[in-house]
Amino acid sequence: MTPNPSPTPLDVFVHTGPAEWWQILAALGPLAVLLGALLAAFIGWNTLRQRTVADEKALAQKREADSRAEWWRRAQWAFEAAMDENEEKQDVGLAVLELLNTSNLAGPEEAEIIAEAWKRPLQNGEATLDLLPPLPDNGVTDDPEDGEQ
């Protein structure tokens, strides 16, 4: 006899026990890969952000150092000009020192240096005045009542 298919389908159920641990672990594999990729992306993003911040700070520090170096180059020129024999050059040097003293690049130490640099030309000016012959008396006094007599 030849087997004939049954007119109604048969449902076959295979009864198994609970899933093994390795089956559960294998089912979570794609989730672990996704979490690993997200963790790697987060670490990469943080590294990039940290490098960007560090580069910005280094650039700002270099810019300030370059500005301070240029400030000192100008200050050296002004110091030399303030000590020059030419009075016009002295005036320009002192004016530049005054301007450099107001710069935000001049810290407290630089302000003290500029204050000391001011003293010598001013003392030289006072010494020059002391060397001049005294002016003749023109008969004018400080007291207005003395002049009426």
- Tell me which of 89 and 122 has the higher pLDDT: 89
SS3 content of the chain, % helix, strand, coil (to 5): 70, 0, 30
Tell me what percent of the residues of the chain surpass a pLDDT of 70: 79
**Amino acid 115: pLDDT:** 81
**Amino acid 149: pLDDT:** 47
Residue ranges per structural domain of the chain: 31-131
How far apart CA 34 and CA 58 sit, in angstroms, is 36
How far apart CA 125 and CA 88 sit, in angstroms, is 13
Query: Residue 139 pLDDT more than 60?
Result: no
User: What is the per-residue pLDDT across 33-42, written as a single tens digit (0 to 9) for each?
Assistant: 999 999 999 9
How far apart CA 33 and CA 27 sit, in angstroms, is 12
User: What is the per-residue pLDDT across 17-70, written as a single tens digit (0 to 9) for each?
Assistant: 888 888 888 999 999 999 999 999 999 999 999 999 999 999 999 999 999 999
Written as six digits, the tokens of 66 are 């370059």
Mean of the pLDDT values across residues 73-88?
A: 89
pTM: 0.52
Q: How far apart are the first and last CA of the chain?
A: 166
